[in-house]
Amino acid sequence: DPRARLEAIATQSGADVLMARHLDADCLNMGLLYVRASSGTAQWYSRYLEWLHQHPFEREQRGINALLGFTGQKVSFAPTGLPSLKAIALDDSNEFASSRGGWLGDWD
């Protein structure tokens, strides 16, 4: 159960959102998503899901990357007035498995 480790990382970094990234691209991956419970994250995620529902031609992962400002990607009709959240990428080279390649860390 990774919850204790994810909560420790969120607390140490002050992050609201933790995600893994793709091994072959510099973007967040929806395969591992941790969202700290708060009124700000609830408002942000509710508005994100509303936007995604209204724009089904956009991919959920592209939306997360664009709306959290993790990449330079853009989306159509981005919602305005989203609360500011801090999102960080987890260490998917050594600590967390990635969607492509699995865990590639060093046992030592």
Q: pLDDT tens, 72-101? A: 889 999 998 899 999 998 877 677 666 555
pTM above 0.75, yes or no: yes
44 by DSSP, 3-state: which? helix
H or E segment and range at residue 5? helix 3-13
- Structure confidence at residue 62 as a pLDDT band (50, 70, 90): confident
Work out whether strand 87-89 and strand 28-35 pair parallel, antiparallel, or are unpaired: unpaired
Q: Are 103 and 61 in contact (CB under 8 A)?
A: no
Q: How far is CA 18 from the centre of its chain?
A: 5
Question: Mean pLDDT throughout 47-72?
Answer: 89
